Structure 1
């Protein structure tokens, strides 16, 4: 990978190696990934909620019921 052996002939021009040595790049990337994994804090998979205890009090006022009618011609009637 990083070493290129000549063809054995007596050529005057040596061939230029154009391949990049990938071993240091891979080593650096592995170290960065390991550092990232170590520095990420451990996540809790639970959400703590403070839920109310007991039964809720009954509503004091009844809700108002509204009836809305729409006719075939687009007329809107509010509570009849």
Structure 2
């Protein structure tokens, strides 16, 4: 089981609530996992398997490639 957590913020550091964050699981199992940010901009992605997500992105914003389980990200929108 993998987990990636983090926050979505504006360039000025303000939280972005209700943003959609998407992770590409890839590999043999394939597929995507999604999460909505809370009012503080926080999100958690839980996925099956071990290892990395091919990428994590926020709709209309930044994308982070090759994300390891256990990562704590800050994505900008």
Task: Give the TM bin, normalised by the shorter chain.
Answer: under 0.3
Structure with the bigger percentage of helix: 1
Structure with the bigger percentage of strand: 2
Computing the radius of gyration over CA atoms, which structure comes out larger, 1 or 2? 1
Higher relative contact order (CA 8 A, sep 6+): 2
